[in-house]
Amino acid sequence: MNRSVVIPIAVLAGALVAAPPTATPAAKAATAYTLEPLNYNLAETTPSLFGGAVCLVYECERVPTSASLDLSHRRGVFGENGAISQGAARLDDRLTADADTKLVFGFSQGAQVAGFWLRNYAPTTAVDPGSTSFLLVGDPENTYGVPWAPRVPTDTGFEVTEVWKQYDGWADWPDRFDVLAVANAVYGMLFVHPTVYDDLDLDAERAAGNVVTWTAGGITYEMVVDQDLPILDPLRNLGLGWVADLVNDDWREHVEAQYDRPSTQEEADELFEAPVPAGTDAETAAVEEDESDSEERPSRSSGSVRAASLTDDSDEDEVDKDEVSETETETDDTTETDEDAPTADEDTDDDTDAGGGDDQPASNEADDAGQA
């Protein structure tokens, strides 16, 4: 099945806005298999994310999991026996049986279930990557998530999109240990992660320029920027927002310095080289620049710029040798002419012989000049 039948995440994002209560349900395009977070199945959480917008586009079907603490989950490989590995087996049953277009939609531990499937089942599955995509939200196994969790592989061949709120500590953990950065991430784990995605309007956030997007490997990352540090929320809740505002910018700059992931779209484009749209003037200019660079760049056979330089020097030496050879030839001709002069005048007097003798040093000087 061709990949074009999958509803692109970018198109889906336009639907991630809560619909009015009176909206008429549209025909569903495909099935979304939803995976629950660690909530012991006390509530059905995943379908309600983003104001329930995903399930307006897809026919949502819940994959049953225990949604419980999984102490066996360490490396995320076959042999583990807990909520995550068991949930992945049930997910595999559904994906294998469904040949139509489908989305796997997981939140928190539900995203880990999807990650387990991508890590272990995807390499040998018969499931078509062209008809199956993944939307993972607040994923601890996100590339930028907590360091003690395994990572979602980036080379599965499936279309995977990771979405998270900046400073949700489960999905956005600092790369370097710092007391303030770690404390902020822990606060985000406890007070941002559980509720921030419920009514998150991705369409509005994109329009406001608050979503940083980049692609690395086979995964598209979308981070919703938070200009306010979660750790300062208690001050704001106490009516001391002015105190929080006094330190927020300086603290946030310090916290961001502990992360290696992009903080802005400009950083993301620079780090991951955003592709230039085909057929644009920018693309043409880029191609011309590449061709110009290739002409100026030394050939691979030369090995290095230094090798190319040595080759150029060698060519110059050959030119010098040719010039020296020509000079020596001319000098030899001159010498032979000088030596022939006395022979033609064999009957001259002794004074003439003395004059001919004076010509020899001049010939030697010419020879010396040709060898120099």
Whole-angstrom CA distances from 173 to 44, 161, 189, 228, 264 are 26, 18, 10, 16, 17
Cβ contact 95:131 at 8 Å: no
Mapping DSSP onto H, E and C, the string for 243-300 reads: HHHHHHHHHHHHHHCCCCCCCCHHHHHHHHCCCCCCCCHHHHHHHHHHHHHHHHCCCH
- E strand segments, the chain: 31-35, 59-62, 102-107, 132-137, 159-165, 211-216, 219-224
**Which structure tokens are listed for 71?**
């102490």
pLDDT tens sequence across 109-140:
999 999 999 999 999 999 999 999 999 999 99
Amino acid occupying residue 180: L
Is the per-residue pLDDT at 313 higher than 90? no
Task: Count Cα neighbours of 287 within 13 Å in the Cβ-side half-sphere.
Answer: 9
Place of tokens 């606060």: 187
337 against 197, higher pLDDT: 197
Task: Reduce the DSSP state of residue 180 to 3 states and report it.
Answer: helix
| pLDDT of 147 over the 60 cut | yes
pLDDT of residue 273: 80
Give 230-257 pLDDT, tens digit per residue.
999 999 999 999 999 999 999 999 999 9
**Per-residue pLDDT tens digits for 182-208:** 999 999 999 999 999 999 999 999 999
pTM reported for the whole predicted model: 0.71
Measured between alpha carbons, how far is 206 from 208 in angstroms, rounded to an integer? Answer: 5
Interior/surface letters 172-185, b for 16+ CB within 10 angstroms, e for the rest: bbbeeebeebbebb
Number of Cβ atoms within 10 Å of the Cβ of 299:
10
Structural domains for the chain:
3-275 (3.40.50), 300-371 (no CATH)
What are the helix and strand counts (H, E) for the chain? Answer: 12, 7
- Return d(Cα 326, Cα 48) in angstroms, integer: 90
Q: Using only C-alpha atoms, what is the Rg of the chain?
A: 38
Structure-block tokens of residue 138 = 């607040």
- Whether 286 has a pLDDT exceeding 70, the answer reads no
Whether the predicted pLDDT of 264 surpasses 60: yes
**Burial degree of 104 (CB within 10 A; 0-12, 13-18, 19+):** buried
pLDDT score for 94? 98
- pLDDT score, position 180: 99
The predicted model gives 134-152 an average pLDDT of 98
Rounded Cα distance, 179 and 254, in Å: 11
